Amino acid sequence: MRTGFFRAAAFSATFAIGATASLSAFGQDGYGLYDGSSYYGSSVQSQDRFEGWWLGGTIGGSSVNYSMSPGSVDADGVIGGVVGGFSWQHGPFVIGIEGDYLASDIDGGGLINGGPNKAQLGFDNLADLRLRLGYTVTPNLLLFGTFGGAWANGDLYISGPGGGFRETTFTGWSAGGGAEYAYDRNWSLRFDYQFTDFGQETVKYSGGKQTFDPDSNSFRGSIIYSF
């Protein structure tokens, strides 16, 4: 778990820097830098552009890796749904709470010890609740990181002789980062990365038992409306 956390932190930082660079064309149109009291050259009158309630739609892709006996299996799929939350802003600093509820078609499996049984994992719904910390490098461009709890509704299958099935809820943690660009007072575009450790769940069958230990890497784009 410690390895996953540090990997997530490093990946999140790298992605956030890359996302900021990709949005720099938008952020370098005369907005200037924050000096603690004002933004020089800003076309935005308010310094609390990212404060308040917000809601948006999000879509992206996710790659899930889970351990087998022996080895591991990769499962890929599309995720999409809603994201929303509330943020407070003080000067260039932003802190907030956000949550996601996503539908998923992630599904994948592999042979247990070379067969004949096959283990398969499918995610139907994903959700999380996270703390967001950010810094506005320009009045309209927010660089942020997130951390919190995550849940997933999963179907665990063991096919083949004496197979089994279990529907369960995974619980774990999620860390990520990204960038959000506000192109007017109410609308913004957001790109982010998330690493999620969903914990472990086990399916028992006549041939034994199989433990699923999934981790996911997700990239998403969102359209946000601020109230």
Tell me, rounded to whole angstroms, the distance of Cα 151 from its chain centroid.
12
- Residue 38 resides in a domain: yes
- Residue 113 resides in a domain: no
Encode pLDDT of 35-90 as tens digits. 444 444 444 444 688 999 999 999 999 999 887 666 678 888 999 999 999 999 99
Contact predicate 137/27, CB 8 Å:
yes
- Work out how many domains the chain is built from and give that number: 1
Q: Which residue has the tokens 């997700």?
A: 218
Give the per-residue pLDDT at 2: 39
- Residue 164 resides in a domain: no
- Residue 55 resides in a domain: yes
- Residue 163 resides in a domain: no
- Residue 59 resides in a domain: yes
Encoded tokens for 93:
């600093």
CATH number, domain with residue 178? 2.40.160
pLDDT confidence bin for 96, thresholds 50/70/90: very high
Higher pLDDT, 146 or 204: 146
Q: Is the pLDDT of residue 226 over 60?
A: yes
Contact predicate 150/127, CB 8 Å:
yes
- Residue 155 resides in a domain: no
Of 149, 216, 225, nearest in space to 180 by CA: 225
For every residue of 140-199, DSSP letters joined together read: TEEEEEEEEEEEEEEEEEEESTT-EEEEEEEEEEEEEEEEEEESSSSEEEEEEEEEEE--
Q: Is the pLDDT of residue 33 over 50?
A: no
Give the per-residue pLDDT at 117: 82
Whether pTM > 0.85 for this model: the answer is no
Domain encompassing residue 83 = 2-105+127-149+170-199+210-226
- Residue 18 resides in a domain: yes
